[in-house]
């Protein structure tokens, strides 16, 4: 399986992601698609990565156009069009346990068994979904969970973190669109719901500060301070923890907070992946400032 990692100005996080892949998927090819990072620390880390892995940036000899997360995801699809299996990760994610031959067999078998399966999700399920209307049903034949239908379809058919077969996407006419909702709608039109692995092997780091070169609003700055956002890498799962996960009943949904721990300590649970989650008036303040900026730009 090929790993494509999407990067922009998060050197410390990118370094952690690559190190986790080098440790847990040592025989896999790693390709970093960087969106022209200009942060000095990130540039240094990218040069170090380039000595061991493939680095694709604007102006790369591949001639693939880069720009924005979903544009880069499309470029990665074209770059890896002849590969059997491709896994997309982002710089703020991490492999949390070794990837095994059994994992690859389960993934291949799922795609072979389900011809309308477009995407698999390699990550644990966010604990914040416990308090929402999301329900996950286990299919014994494919060894996958599928999210039950709800009023909110986002995330049921597509995620920016995914495993896919490039030839299957090509045959369907798939092209990555400019936003998560648009990609989710396209996936709903083309494929069956996305499958979630019984034994996930990756996860977003929790409580990550907002990046991607955007000017932070006052509301966002206050929210990040309130939530204590920062760098919380995961401790790699032990053999006993992996066995416990693999031996659990299928009724036990793989929520991240139940199986993973950060080092040196974990943030308050449930973890959030957007600094504005649960911040009340700060979220409103952020929205008002964004609207004001849009008005003054006209």
Tens digits of per-residue pLDDT, 262-278?
Answer: 999 999 999 999 999 88
Over the stretch 205-244, which tens digit does the pLDDT of each residue have? 999 998 654 578 999 999 999 999 999 999 999 999 999 9
Token pair 């030839």 in the structure block, residue: 167
The answer to whether residues 205 and 232 touch, using CB atoms and an 8 Å cutoff, is yes
Give tens-digit pLDDT for 160-183: 999 999 999 999 999 999 999 999
Q: Averaged over 282-293, what is the pLDDT?
A: 91
Q: How far, in whole angstroms, is CA 62 from its chain's centroid? A: 24
Q: Is the pLDDT assigned to residue 66 strictly greater than 60?
A: no
Identify which has the larger pLDDT, 286 or 254: 254
Closest to 106 in 3D by CA, of 131, 85, 89, 124? 85
**pLDDT of 21 higher than 70:** yes
Segment 29-40 shows an average pLDDT of 95
pLDDT at 65: 45
CATH topology for 2-197? Spore Coat Polysaccharide Biosynthesis Protein SpsA; Chain A (3.90.550)
First-residue to last-residue Cα distance in the chain:
47
- Whole-number pLDDT of residue 67: 59
> What length does the chain have?
298
Partners of 195 in beta bridges: 120, 146
Query: What are the residues whose beta carbons fall under 8 Å from the beta carbon of 122, sequence distance 6 or more?
Result: 87, 161, 162, 163, 197, 200, 201, 202
Domain boundaries along the sequence of the chain: 2-197, 206-297
């Amino acid at each position: 399986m090929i790993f494509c990692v999407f990067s922009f100005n998060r050197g410390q996080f990118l370094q952690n992601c690559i190190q986790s892949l080098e440790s847990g998927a040592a025989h896999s090819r790693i390709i970093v698609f960087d969106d022209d990072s200009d942060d000095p620390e990130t540039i240094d880390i990218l040069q170090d990565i380039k000595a061991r892995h493939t680095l694709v940036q604007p102006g790369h000899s591949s001639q693939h156009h880069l720009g924005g997360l979903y544009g880069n995801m499309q470029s990665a699809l074209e770059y890896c069009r002849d590969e059997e299996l491709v896994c997309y990760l982002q710089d703020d994610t991490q492999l949390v346990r070794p990837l095994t031959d059994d994992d690859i067999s389960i993934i291949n078998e799922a795609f072979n068994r389900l011809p309308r399966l477009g995407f698999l999700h390699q990550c644990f399920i966010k604990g914040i979904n416990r308090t929402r209307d999301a329900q996950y049903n286990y299919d014994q034949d494919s060894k996958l969970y599928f999210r039950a239908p709800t009023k909110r379809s986002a995330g049921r058919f597509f995620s920016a973190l995914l495993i896919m077969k490039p030839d299957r996407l090509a045959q369907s006419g798939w092209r990555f669109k400019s936003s998560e909702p648009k990609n989710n709608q396209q996936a709903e039109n083309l494929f069956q719901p996305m499958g979630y692995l019984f034994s996930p092997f990756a996860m977003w780091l929790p409580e990550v500060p907002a990046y991607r070169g955007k000017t932070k609003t006052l509301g966002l700055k206050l929210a990040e301070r309130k939530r204590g956002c920062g760098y919380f890498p995961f401790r790699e799962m032990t053999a006993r923890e992996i066995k416990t996960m693999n031996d659990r009943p299928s009724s036990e949904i793989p929520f991240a907070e139940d199986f993973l721990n950060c080092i040196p300590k974990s943030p308050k649970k449930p973890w959030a992946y957007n600094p504005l989650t649960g911040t009340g008036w700060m979220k409103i303040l952020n929205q008002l400032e964004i609207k004001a900026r849009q008005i003054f730009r006209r």
